[in-house]
């Protein structure tokens, strides 16, 4: 992995550390459903960016 990819990964983890605890506290009853929806959304966005993004694979 390049330095830019490591920095992006660290930034994503830092945002997750800030957002996840608040999301879990707010939605105790539907945590698993919301986590699955967010994971699906993130996977879809990564796929779209990978497919149509600015790289030549």
**What is the helix (H) or strand (E) element at residue 34, kind and residue range?**
helix 31-52
Distance CA 26, CA 20 (A): 10
pLDDT computed for residue 29 by the predictor: 65
- Choice between 20 and 23, residue whose per-residue pLDDT is larger: 20
% residues pLDDT > 90 (the chain)? 9
List of residues 6+ apart from 34 with CB closer than 8 A: 23, 27
Q: Where are the domains of the chain?
A: 3-52
pLDDT computed for residue 15 by the predictor: 87
Report the chain's mean pLDDT, rounded to a whole number.
81
pLDDT computed for residue 7 by the predictor: 86
The CA–CA distances, whole Å, from 4 to 7, 9, 11, 40, 42 equal: 5, 9, 11, 24, 19
Distance CA 40, CA 46 (A): 10
28-47: per-residue pLDDT in tens?
A: 667 778 788 889 999 999 88
């Amino acid at each position: 992995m390049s330095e830019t990819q490591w920095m992006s990964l660290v930034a994503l983890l830092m945002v997750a550390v800030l957002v996840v605890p608040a999301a879990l506290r707010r939605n105790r009853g539907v945590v698993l459903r919301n986590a699955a929806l967010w994971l699906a959304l993130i996977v879809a966005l990564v796929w779209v960016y990978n497919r149509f993004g600015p790289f030549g694979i």
